[in-house]
Amino acid sequence: MKEYEVIMINSAMPTDLEEYAAQVATEAITMESDFSSIAHFIKRNFDRKYTNTWQCVVGKHFCPSLMKQVILFTLS
């Protein structure tokens, strides 16, 4: 699997969730080809592991209004 540099921009999540998000995002962009599929992949994995309802936004241009724990990072 290709290695990506994770640049954490903002996070209110515990470190273990940040690390899991980076891992799952890396898997998603390796396996999926479009933003919608990447977002669904990440959401499914978080829903399974952490048994809550998660939201996932993937892309370059968006304006979210999100509640609870938020993480914003890039993979390059």
Question: Alpha-carbon distance 56 to 67, whole Å?
Answer: 12
CATH code for residues 14-75: 3.30.740.10
Q: Report residue 9 as tokens.
A: 């921009």
**pTM assigned to the model:** 0.79
Whole-angstrom Cα distance, residue 28 to residue 69?
21
What tokens appear for 72 in the block?
A: 């914003």
Cα(29)–Cα(5) distance, rounded to whole angstroms?
Answer: 13
In a 13 Å sphere around the CA of 3, the CA atoms on its Cβ side amount to 1
Q: pLDDT digit string (tens) for 9-39?
A: 888 889 999 999 999 999 999 999 998 999 9
pLDDT of 41-54, one tens digit each?
999 999 999 987 88
Confidence bin at 70 (pLDDT 50/70/90): low
Other residues' Cβ atoms within 10 Å of the Cβ of residue 28? 22
